[in-house]
């Protein structure tokens, strides 16, 4: 099963509108929060394998195999392994 492709602009817009419309935050504060959320989500969706660094939607979720040709990544890594 493949994960949906991450669309940072859609997430950004949703977060900005949520904080402005529902929470009553200023436009600047809502933009600041949205930037932090998008940055965190982008980092979370990147494989931590030093040889890979592809997004999670480039991996097959069940087997965690990378779909990018000529990539030696065998498994999507959520956390960086410290040696």
Residues 38 and 4 in one domain: yes
Listed as own residue / partner, the contacts of 20-25 with beta carbons closer than 8 Å and 24 or more positions apart are none
Residues 34 and 6 in one domain: yes
Alpha-helix residue ranges (DSSP H) falling in 4-80: 8-17, 27-44
Q: Averaged in consecutive runs of 10 residues, what is the pLDDT profile of the chain (83 residues)?
A: 72 96 96 95 76 66 63 63 48
Residues 40 and 59 in one domain: no
Residues 41 and 62 in one domain: no
Residues 41 and 1 in one domain: yes
CA 65, chain centre distance (Å) = 17
pLDDT of 59: 62
pLDDT of 12: 96
Residues 56 and 29 in one domain: no
Q: How many CB atoms lie within 10 A of CB 81?
A: 8
* Sequence-distant (≥ 6) Cβ neighbours of residue 73 within 8 angstroms: 47, 49, 51, 52, 54, 59, 65, 66
pLDDT of 57: 62
Residues 22 and 56 in one domain: no
pLDDT of 33: 97
Q: How many structural domains compose the chain?
A: 2
pLDDT of 42: 82
Q: What is the pLDDT of residues 45-64, one digit of tens each?
A: 777 676 776 666 666 555 55
């Amino acid at each position: 099963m493949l994960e949906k492709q991450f669309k940072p602009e859609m997430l950004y817009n949703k977060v900005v509108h949520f904080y402005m419309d529902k929470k009553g935050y200023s436009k600047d504060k809502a933009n600041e929060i949205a930037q932090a959320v998008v940055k965190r989500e982008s980092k979370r969706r990147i494989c931590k394998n030093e040889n890979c660094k592809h997004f999670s939607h480039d991996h097959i979720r069940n087997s965690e195999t990378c779909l990018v040709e000529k990539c030696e990544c065998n498994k999507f890594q959520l956390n960086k392994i410290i040696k």
